[in-house]
Structure 1
Amino acid sequence: MTLVKFANGNKGASVSPFLNDVFGSFFNDAYVSDRLVSRVPAVNIAETENHYHIELAAPGLSKEDFKLNLEKDVLTISAETKSESTDENKKYNRKEYSYSSFVRSFTLPETADHANIEAEYNNGVLKINVAKKEEAKIVNREISVK
């Protein structure tokens, strides 16, 4: 019987530990990782007696950056930001551009009232409240036993 050792996530398992250090530090660099990784905001979805609640974590944006669109039963949330800064110093001009965007789509249930949707952006969280139709609201009543 022969035992075979597997790397199972060890960094030192490649041909050269030096290459692991170089490529690992390159891809873990914040500048590179921000541009390589697609950033989609995290979402919490909840339901209460009268509403559906969607909370989208999108810090660093303003309410003007968001676009909400409802087409049939699909609610689409998108945001786009562009920034440009110029620093003129010592006879040279430096320009830095930043661009980021995302799109998230949610299929609303048939019980959602499309005419009654509200959105608010506060402290980095976009909160969307979708009202339920009257016939979809839970009716609680006590039933007597005869």
Structure 2
Amino acid sequence: MSIKRKKDEDNIFKIINDMFDQFHRSLTQEFQEMMEFGGIFQKPTWKINGDICSLEPLFDIRPGKDKITIIIDLPKVNNKDDIELNISKNIIDVKAKLSKDVCYEKWSGSQKKAKFRQFEKSIRIPWTIDPDNVEAEFKDGILKITAKRLSEFKKIDIQ
């Protein structure tokens, strides 16, 4: 009877161990995919290129079956004419002039003072979109971009 009990205990521990292994593999895969597309740990959220200091805007990608919606937060941008938007099959480049400079002093060990005049971000989209079928709308500091999602596969006739 003690032998049976030992086998049952071993079986339970094997099941638990298998569950943790599966969880670990799944978590590792999700983390790798997240890091591949920019990740949550991507730093810094600003760019300094000579005299031009740019902030990176917050954004959200919302995939749908036939379209992809990208929401970009552009506070302190008042006019759509202050936004430059360029789109390729899987990259969106956005630059937007701030209505008022954003200044920081003593905010980092290597940077003591910076004056940001624009937002700038290159967003990699993990799906292919049709750059000729894109709509963009700007209202109250929010840029909403809607793009047609292209099929990943194309049927090929075999002769």
Name which one, 1 or 2, has greater alpha-carbon Rg.
Answer: 1
Q: Normalized per residue, which structure has more helix?
A: 2
TM-score when normalising by structure 1: 0.49
